[in-house]
Amino acid sequence: MEKIKNFLDNIMHIQIINSIVIIIVSIFLYKLISHFLKKFEEKNSIIDKKSKTYIKLTRSLIRYIFILVTCLALLQINGIDVSSVLAGVGILGVIFGLAIQDWLKDIIRGSSILSDNYFSVGDIVKYNDVEGKVLVIGLKSTKIQDLKTGYIKTVANRKIEEIDLVSNLIYITIPISYEVSIEEAEKVIENIIFNIKQGDNVEDCKYKGVTEIANSSVNYCIEIKCNPQYKLQVRRDALRVALVELDNSKIKIPYTQIDVHNK
């Protein structure tokens, strides 16, 4: 009886050691592969955003594969027949599928982000009231860094329809009084456009014409092209340039006036 007990203790001891070895080897291999992918991304800084997205998604996929393979190996080493476990999955598939349907939706939609080119890592997107930069696209979720606060928001991939890709164009309306002729107004706008182009992160700036004949002004439109990441600051700078140029030209911005008559 004592011999049987010692034999079983030795087996358990070997199983524990083997389990620990498998876990350590799996972690080491995952870290090694992840390190090479990260170094490849850093050395090839000129690769496009879609390629970076594929690299990050590959790292996420590898993590899940390593977790699955490690779990199966641990089961096999500890005397559980993996083939019978896999066969049993078919019986419980419906119940299990219902339990993880949202998880499966996230994975399917995560693949759709790449195949349908919704957006890539580095793009500026809008989700509800958050406008931010895409940091990571994983199998289950997408991480977005808010441009205003710097906070990182995690969005489940199944909500992809609620995420909009932000345009790289800004439209600014400049109201000018009716007392100023169109020729004079457009000359001032040319100066405004020239100065805006000198600003940081501005790729191009164009005059788009008259957009509205309002009650107290003629509204002129300017289109500015820039990296969406800097849209907020570029808009602020452009508005300041417009105000300064209008002030230098002695043109006041019109405002609605109300005449009150006393009897």
Read off the pLDDT of residues 23-63 as tens digits, 9 standing for 90 and up. 888 888 878 877 777 777 666 655 555 566 666 667 777 77
Domains and CATH numbers, the chain: 2-99 (1.10.287), 114-165 (2.30.30.60), 169-248 (3.30.70.100)
CA 54 vs CA 37, 133, 138: distances in Å? 11, 17, 10
Do the Cβ atoms of 52 and 15 come closer than 8 Å? no
User: Has residue 231 got a pLDDT over 60?
Assistant: yes
Nearest to 30 by CA among 54, 63, 58: 63
Distance between CA atoms of residues 2 and 8, nearest Å:
10
Q: What are the E-state strand segments in 72-156?
A: 124-127, 130-137, 141-146, 152-156
Helix (H) / strand (E) element for 169: namely strand 169-176
- Residues of the chain above pLDDT 70, percent: 69
For 135, the 3-state DSSP assignment is strand
pTM over 0.75: no
Backbone angles phi, psi at 154, to 5 degrees: -105, 125
Residue at 149: amino acid letter: T
